[in-house]
Every structure is written in C-alpha cells, then in structure tokens.
A and B are shown apart, each in its own frame.
Chain A
Amino acid sequence: MDQRAILDHQFTVAAYAITWAIQLGYLVWLGLKWRAQKRAVARPIRSPR
C-alpha cells in the first residue's frame, strides 16, 4: 500500500467512525433524556413555587 492509499483509508475510516459516533451519541442522549422524563412523570407533581 502506498502513502496515498493509506491516507485515503484513514480518512474513510475517520468519516465512518465520526458518523457513527455522532449518531449513536445522539441516541444515547435521547435515551438519557427519555429516562429522566419517565422519572419526572412518576414523581408527584408539585407546583414550581
């Protein structure tokens, strides 16, 4: 493999890995938000005062 092919490979891997990191990171954040909201719903409602 020449230098150009190695760099091409590294950039392609980086693009795929970053895409997955963003998408899965967002899914995890949504999951945490969902769980926090479930807990808030289960708690007895008190006025903001």
Chain B
Amino acid sequence: MKKLGLRLYAALTAALMAWGFYQAIYVAPDEQTMHEVQRIFYYHVPSAMTAFLFFAISLAGSIGFLALHRDHPLRAQVADAWAVAGAEVGVVFCTVVLITGPLWGRRAWGIWWTWDARLTTTLVLWLLYVSYLLLRRFAAGPQMQTLAAVLGVFAALDVPIVYMSTRWWRTQHPAPVFGGGPDSGIKDPAMLHAFGWNIAAWLAWGLLILALRYRIERQQQQLLAHQAQAALDEI
C-alpha cells in the first residue's frame, strides 16, 4: 500500500514536471525586453523558493535536535535526519539557482556575476550549507551532530537576509515576484500560470527527494546503532 502510494506520488510528480515544462516553454509568452531568455525564470525562481523551504526544514530539525538530544535521544535522531536531509536537498536547489542565475544574467545584464547584495548573500548561503555538509561528512565523535545543529541554526539566519536583500540594499537583481512593491509581480496570466505550475512541480519533486534522503539518513543511523551495539556485545 505504501509502495503504491509512493509510485502514484512519483507519477504525479513526473506529470507535473512535464506539464510545468510545457507551460514554461510553449504556453507562456516571450517577455517584451528579455525575450526567450526570461524563460529561465520558470526554473530559477521556483528552485530558490524550494531551497528556502528546505533550509527552513533543516533549521527546524537542527533546533529540534538541540532541544531533544539530552532527554529524548531517539526523537533527536529523527530531528537530526530531517536537518541533514533539508540541508542537502536545499544545497542541490541552491546550486541550480546559482547556475541558472548567471546564465540569465549574462544575457540580461551582459555579465555573468556581480557582487550585488542578492547574489552575494545567496553565494554565502550556499557556502554555509556546504560547510554544514562537509562538517557532517568529515567530523567524527559524539559532538558532531551538536556542532552541525548549531551551524545549521546560524546558516539559516542568512535565508531572511537573502530574501530581504533586494529591499535593504540597491541591487541589480530584479524585485521579488511577490510582495516587492508596485512594480513587482507577474501581470500576464499565462506567465503566472506557467510560474505556478513550475512552483508546484519543483516542490513536488523536492519533497520526493527529501523523503528519500530522510529515509537514507534514518537507515544510516539505525545501521550505526546496530554496529555500536554489536561492538558492545563483543566486549
């Protein structure tokens, strides 16, 4: 039953991805000033939104781990698995943002990169979460999860800074799509639909790989616990 549900969800996600792609490439009209290259927007912005969501999940997991690890170690392991899964899948989406952005910028602005506040804070966000993952990969010992959780909390502080950067500083990056003032937003309904379908598609895809990454982490924790128990039994 669980397998059937997973397969149905995967099929629905694949259908959403295909529909989102069709909407972005064939249905949405060309933007007046940037023309075809503006279609990168339909992958770039939903990827950024999904990355933010997963970094928020990672933050919740990190806080949960720090709150529970003394009194409820088993529940803390669940929180830690969500923290690492959210961080890793968030980094994947953030990587997409940092690659599609310069491709779009090269055609729209004539440059690959500028040390503008939005771009710089996004790069810092990516670096913070990559360092979080590297810490988890290479640090050993019982304190590793605690150190990672603390770093996870501090890394997440950059998310609101990235979001607010176009409001707080003068930037070359366009205003936010939602809530960015009178000039922001999508006026054309076909563009809005294409954008909405791609948000749904990338969110569904992200949740699928997040669930898979969480499952792998939980299995890894159980494997390590069994190995530790076997080592104790041999003493």
Contacts and interface: CB of A to CB of B under 8 A. Distances in A.
Interface in A1-49: 4-5, 7-9, 11-12, 14-16, 18-19, 22-23, 26-27, 30, 33-34, 37, 40-41, 45-49
A15 B105 CA distance: 11
B51 to A, nearest CB: 12
Interface of B: 21, 34-37, 39-40, 43-44, 47, 89, 92, 95-96, 99-100, 103-104, 106-107, 205, 209, 212-213, 215-216, 219-220, 223, 226-227, 230-231, 234
Per DSSP, chain A at the interface is: helix
A15 B219 contact: no
Contacts, number: 81
Nearest to B34: A8
Instruction: Report, nearest first, the 10 A-B pairs whose CB atoms are least far apart.
Output: A47-B231, A8-B37, A8-B36, A15-B40, A15-B100, A45-B230, A15-B103, A26-B92, A19-B43, A47-B234
B99 A34 contact: no
Given A30-B209, A33-B216, A41-B223, A22 B230 contact: no
29 contacts: A5-B35, A7-B107, A8-B36, A8-B37, A8-B107, A9-B36, A12-B37, A12-B39, A12-B40, A15-B40, A15-B100, A18-B100, A19-B47, A22-B92, A22-B95, A23-B92, A26-B89, A30-B209, A30-B213, A30-B216, A34-B212, A34-B219, A37-B216, A37-B219, A37-B220, A40-B223, A45-B226, A47-B231, A49-B231
Contact of A18 (B21, B99, B219, B230): B99
Contact of A41 (B34, B37, B215, B219): B219
Interface of A: 4-5, 7-9, 11-12, 14-16, 18-19, 22-23, 26-27, 30, 33-34, 37, 40-41, 45-49
Contact of B104 (A5, A15, A30, A33): A15
Contacts of B205: 23
Per DSSP, chain B at the interface is: helix
Nearest to A25: B92
A34 B216 CA distance: 6
**Residue from the set A12, A14, A23, A27 with the largest chain B CB neighbour count within 10 Å:** A12
Nearest to B107: A11
A39 B92 CA distance: 26
Given A8-B37, A41-B223, 4 more contacts: A7-B107, A11-B103, A26-B89, A40-B223
